[in-house]
Structure 1
Amino acid sequence: MCYRFSTLYTAKEAEQYYNAYEIEEGYYTVDELNGFNYPETAIIMDIAPTEIVVGKWGLFPSWAKEDFQKKTNTLNAKVETIPQLASYKNSVNKRCVIPAKHFYEWQWLDEKGKTKKKFKIKIKDQELFSLAGIYNLWTNPTTGKQLKTYSIVTTAANDLMSIIHNNKKRMPICLNKDLHKLWLDQKPLEMFSYPNLDPELVAVEAEETFADTLFPEVNSK
């Protein structure tokens, strides 16, 4: 799965990488973002691939009520079941990418996971890459405010991630520049699932940190 990743890049870096413009500000740029804080991050949507906008992590389907996230975890969506599940099936062809420096995962060192080793993972030789996402534009029924909400799409783990994420053996779909364009172009989901897509990932052991609070917004150029 993928519940923590780094957004420690500047708006200028994202604009250059995606050949896009930052249209909206107000997202968090920190080294370790905790999904269970339901933060807002930079995303690029298929309907506007030259615009960097703000999306709320945790997809809200159109029928969701305001307390949806208290009852349901939609931080991640399994690529194998997106077309079948009620929360996701209407977002099959609503694609987005989420800029990332790296993501974090823990390796269980005992049978119950009481002892773990933390790793920092990214695509080899890339300072920035994309996590594949699906989104929905959700309107708050009370306020009428519209939010861009998204889930990170996951697939079966490749060889490296099977060793690291050894309890669940899942990983986010990681896209280089060419592949993120194909993702936004609505190519079939199966094209991006492992082993059809096997990104060259590298991992280093990371220090354990306390990353359970939100941090100041510093997405400056």
Structure 2
Amino acid sequence: MCYRTKLNSRLAAIERSFEARFVEPELFSPMDEINAFTFMKTPVITDENHGEIQMFNWGLIPFWAKDDKIKKMTLNAKIETVSEKPAYRNSVKNRCLIIADGYYEWQWLDSKGKEKQKYLLTPKDQEIFAFAGIYSTWKNPENDELVNSYSIVTTEANELMSEIHNNKKRMPVVLKSADHQSWLTGNEVSNFAFPYDVELEAKPV
């Protein structure tokens, strides 16, 4: 799974990396650690606006939801079932790039996870990268506010992540830079399931 990410790069460096511009640059603040359970806004690029970087909330709220409580359970979407699960199936064609420059995972050092080692994961060949994501637009029935939100797509862990995320053995889908457009333009989701992966480096922190 993936519940802690990092995006501490400068705004200009992000724009150069993705050849896109922030729509609301004043909303972006570099952060060493982003906690999914704060449901905060982070930078994304959607399939509808490849040249724009927008700020969407982490935690997908499907359009049919009566309230936003579901976001606690939609931070990640399993690639194997994303086309079937009610929370995601209407959004599986709504593709986005979720921008990051690292993510964190904890290795269990005992069978119950009482002792853990935290790791920072980064791709070897990308300083700033993108997770595969899906998104939704939800209208809050209380105030008619439109909320754009996303979920990070996850897959089976590769060899490195099986050792680190040794209790769940899952990992987020980190896209190869050459595949950004393929993801955004609706390439079949199964093409991005493991063994599709990017070579990662793990640093204990």
In 1, the alpha carbon distance for the partners of 2:185 and 2:8 equals 27
Which structure's residues are more often strand, by fraction? 2
- Which position in structure 1 is the counterpart of 2:113? 113
Shift of 1:68: 1.8
* Cα pair 1:28 1:40 within 8 Å, conserved: no
- Partner-residue secondary structure (3-state), 1:32: strand
Shift of 1:176: 2.5
| 2:203 maps to 1:204 | yes
Shift of 1:133: 0.4
| 2:22 counterpart letter in structure 1 | E
Shift of 1:65: 2.5
The structure-2 alpha-carbon separation of the partners of 1:138 and 1:28, relative to structure 1 and needing over 3 Å to count, comes to farther
1:88-116 CA-to-partner distances (Å, cap 9, x unmatched) read: 00011000011111000000000000000
In 2, the alpha carbon distance for the partners of 1:147 and 1:24 equals 15
| 1:16 counterpart letter in structure 2 | R
Shift of 1:157: 0.2
Q: Number of residues paired by the alignment?
A: 204
1:28-61 CA-to-partner distances (Å, cap 9, x unmatched) read: 4211100001111010000101100010000000
- Which position in structure 2 is the counterpart of 1:130? 130
Return the structure number with greater relative CO, CA threshold 8 A, min gap 6: 1
Q: Which aligned segments of 4 or more residues in structure 1 are displaced greater than 6 angstroms?
A: none
- Partner-residue secondary structure (3-state), 1:91: coil
In 2, the alpha carbon distance for the partners of 1:138 and 1:56 equals 11
TM superposition score normalised by structure 1: 0.89
1:135-186 CA-to-partner distances (Å, cap 9, x unmatched) read: 0011111211111100000000000000000000000000132112211011
Unaligned runs of 5+ in 2: none
| 2:35 maps to 1:34 | yes
| 2:188 maps to 1:188 | yes
| 1:204 counterpart letter in structure 2 | K
| 2:168 counterpart letter in structure 1 | K
| 1:64 counterpart letter in structure 2 | A
TM superposition score normalised by structure 2: 0.96
| 2:49 maps to 1:55 | no
The percentage of aligned residue pairs carrying the same residue is: 46
In 2, the alpha carbon distance for the partners of 1:125 and 1:47 equals 27
